[in-house]
Structure formats: C-alpha cells, structure tokens
Amino acid sequence: VIDISKLYAQTGMFTYDPGFTSTASCQSKITYIDGDAGILQYRGYPIEQLAEHGDFLETCYLLLYGELPTQAQKDDFDKRVTRHTMVHEQMARFFQAFRRDAHPMAVMVASVGALAAFYHDSTDINDPHQRMVASMRMVAKVPTLAAMAYKYSIGQPFVYPQNRLHFAENFLHMCFAVPCEEYKVNPVLADALDKIFILHADHEQNASTSTVRIAGSSGANPFACIAAGIACLWGPAHGGANEAALAMLAEIGTVDKIPEFIAKVKDKNSNVRLMGFGHRVYKNYDPRAKLMQKAAHQVLQEMGHGDDPLLHVAMELEKIALNDPYFIERKLYPNVDFYSGITLKAMGFPTSMFTVLFAVARTVGWISQWSEMIEDPQQKIGRPRQLFNGATKRDYVPLDKRK
Ligand code: ACO
C-alpha cells in the first residue's frame, strides 16, 4: 500500500483510477472483507455468527459502538431506538404531495432528506451526543418512512409503529397491517427479515457508503448525507440487482430452459449476464448468499411456496453454473442478490420495495461510517482529481462571427 497523498505533496504526482478499484479512500475499523476467501466480518465478528446468534439491533449497536452490547446495554439501546420510531406528523402531509405511482426510492430520497428540516437538535456534527442521537433517529425513522412509502403507493392509510414489537416485526406490521383487520406478525418471516437486515447492514466502501462519506466530508447535515446514500443505492448496478435477478429467473421460467440461457450468457455478443452472480470484491462464494439461500428456503416453506418454480430454477442454475468452466475460470459465484428477490417476493413485498428494504438495513452502516469519518483526525473533504482531456485554451468568438 502506497500513501499517495505524501507522494502528491512532494512531487505533485497523482493516480488515475476510474471506479476507485485500487484506491483506499479512508481507514476504517468497521467492516472487513476478504473477497478471495469469501469472508465478511463486522468489527471482527463473522457474518455467519452474527446472523445465527444475534439480532439486527444488536448488529446496529456493534456497528455504531464497536463492541457487542451487554444485556443492560442492549435493553437500553433497544429502548432508545424505539423511542425515535415516530416521524413528525407534518411528514405525513409531506407524503401527500407525491404521485401514488412514484417509485418508493424517489419518496425515500426526498423524505429522508426532509428529516434535516425537522430535527435541528441533532445536527451539530462536532458533538458526539448529537451524532449518536442523529444515528438513533436514522435507524429508527428510516423504516417508518419506508413503510409509509409502501402504504402510500398502494393507497392504504399509514400504520403507526408499535414499540412493543422488535425491529423486523415492527417493520412487517407497518407494511402489512390494515386498520380493518387483525394482523399478527409471522415469527418465521420476522426472523428471516431480521437476518436479511443483518446481512445488508454494512459492506465497507461500496458506492453508496462512499457517497455518504463524500457528502459528509463537507460537514453536511447527517440526514442529507443518508439521503445521498439512498440516491446512490437506487441504481441497478448497486441496490437494484436483486430485482434484476428475480426478473431473470422469471424469464428462464423452467429448469429445462437453463442450458439455453447459460449459452446466451456465454455468448459475448449477447450482453446477457447471470444476474445475482459475480462481485467486484468476492472472487469466492459471497458468504451472505449462503445465508440468504437458507432464509429463502425458510420463507418459501412457511408461505407455502416451497414448490415455487423460480426457487427450483435458482437452485438448478446455481448448481449448473458452479460446475461450468466459464464461471469457474472467472470466479463467478452467487452474490447476496441471487436469492434475496425470491425471498422478499414470497414475503409479500413488491419488487419496487426491494431496494427500499436494502436502504432500511444499510442506514446503520452508512451512519456508522459517517460517524467514523467525522471522528477521524486524518479526515479531509473528499475531492478527487481528474485527467482533463477537453479543449486547450482558445479565444472567445463573438456570436455573429461563429460558423
Ligand atoms: N454473468 C456472466 N459473466 C460475468 C458476470 C455475470 N454475472 N459477471 C462477470 N462476468 C464475466 C465478464 O463478462 C468478464 O468476462 P471476460 O473476462 O471474458 O470479459 C469477467 O467475468 C469479469 O467481469 P467484470 O465485469 O470485469 O467484473 P467486475 O468485477 O467489474 O463486475 C459485477 C462485478 C458488476 C457485480 C458483475 O459480476 C455483474 O455484472 N454481475 C451481475 C449483476 C449483479 O449481480 N450485481 C450485484 C452485485 S452484489 C451487490 O451490489 C449487493
């Protein structure tokens, strides 16, 4: 690793690195990935152990504070987060201004950004207490706004948070309860959703997290920084891939059509990729994909979709690809998105909500990374360089002389 900033100060030399494939923009103690070995750890704890034994709010505590909580710390943290689940009543009116057919991610960008207009007492970024209050508010309120975006899109009344429920239970309740009927949260779905949130909570310096850090590096309002992260996540190359993977499975349709589809993927002129496969960092099985596959089985069984043809297509496709030299040579393995679309669909979420759920989970990662950046004495405003390749100096031509 070369500290190029020192070289730049001494010589003016800088690197050209489109997509930042080989540039570390910061030092971080939060998430560790070894892409060759297929390892993902939050604060040193393997993702498999956190998903197996922990819950999402415990993971939030770990990401924010750096350590797993004691029981007393956990109880206190859960209480502090749930105290912030309501959003200002004016926000409900704000929602009325959106078209019903607005994409929920568009509503999320706007409504999370609008939190900056409501919570002025947690925006002094130099005050650690205010930073933590802003973090709690974000973890607690983003799910409420996400559920409101969903309810608004289907024309149903908003469902207020129920603070006696756990995080994932509360989210399912806000999305699927209706005032005229009794709604009981299904514990299998709540447990699977809690795990899905854990798997998506952080992933070091991906595009949306880097966006949050760059926005925050100017000292911007924390709620506005998270809105910037949501905007970046919306892109199909980032948070939107699970939707694409589900569409691909539906397009294949049946197991007997898989060889034909794989042939299309291998044909370089087709521009078809196996969605939910491959990763910039993982050159081995994405550890989140294994856990997601397990969650998919649990949810589909529970919902009576165990025979869903898309699940059969996914499992067979995975088996065939993992034994095919094309995928082996290129180290292409299933990523977290391969099974998440099928799982979320079986839970009852429409595809337009898939990326919103990703944002709900990733909010804690964004805010932890933002906080770490603010506390870092080495932190500077993010200001990449460029290689200018436009016109060289030329003289202004008056309008009547231009050809
Ligand atoms: N299907 C078929 N071939 C693929 C795939 C794929 N999904 N991914 C990569 N390849 C091939 C490329 O064609 C290329 O082959 P070549 O060497 O013969 O030209 C080789 O593998 C390397 O591909 P790159 O595009 O250079 O790999 P990169 O690391 O830049 O791409 C990416 C990573 C974007 C994730 C890619 O694997 C992809 O497009 N996957 C499908 C989309 C997807 O699932 N995205 C979700 C990522 S996880 C997340 O964001 C939460």
CA distance 132 to 314: 41
CA distance 63 to 45: 11
324 included as an active-site residue: no
Pocket of ligand 1 contains residue 330 by CB under 6 Å: yes
CA distance 64 to 48: 19
Amino acid 280: pLDDT: 84
CA distance 338 to 162: 32
Q: Report the DSSP pairing between strands 45-46 and 39-42.
A: antiparallel
**What separation in Å is there between the alpha carbon of 316 and the centre of ligand 1?**
20
**What separation in Å is there between the alpha carbon of 44 and the centre of ligand 1?**
28
Pocket of ligand 1 contains residue 199 by CB under 6 Å: no
Please name the residue whose Cα sits nearest to atom 38 of ligand 1.
278
CA 319 to mean position of chain CA atoms: 27
Three-state DSSP state, 178: coil
pLDDT tens string 61-91: 999 999 999 999 999 999 999 999 999 999 9
Give 212-228 as a DSSP string: HHHHHTTT--HHHHHHH
Pocket of ligand 1 contains residue 289 by CB under 6 Å: no
Residue stretches of the chain with pLDDT short of 70: none
Alpha-carbon separation of residue 61 from 42, 152, 315 (angstroms): 11, 31, 35
101 included as an active-site residue: no
Three-state DSSP state, 33: strand
Give 337-388 as a DSSP string: HHHHHHHHHHHT--GGGHHHHHHHHHHHHHHHHHHHHHH-TT----------
**Atom in ligand 1 nearest the alpha carbon of residue 265:** 2
Cβ–Cβ < 8 Å for 31, 204 = yes
Pocket of ligand 1 contains residue 241 by CB under 6 Å: yes
Amino acid 66: pLDDT: 98
CA distance 133 to 209: 20
pLDDT tens string 5-28: 888 889 988 899 999 989 999 999
How is residue 181 written in tokens? Answer: 């009927």
CA distance 336 to 318: 13
What does the mean pLDDT of the chain come to?
94
Q: In a mutational test of the pocket of ligand 1, which residue from 261, 282, 332 has the highest number of ligand atoms less than 8 Å from its CB?
A: 332
Pocket of ligand 1 contains residue 64 by CB under 6 Å: no
**Atom in ligand 1 nearest the alpha carbon of residue 280:** 29
**What separation in Å is there between the alpha carbon of 328 and the centre of ligand 1?**
13
Q: Under 8 Å CB-to-CB from 339, ≥6 apart: which residues?
A: 276, 289, 292, 293, 295, 296, 314
Radius of gyration of the chain (CA): 23
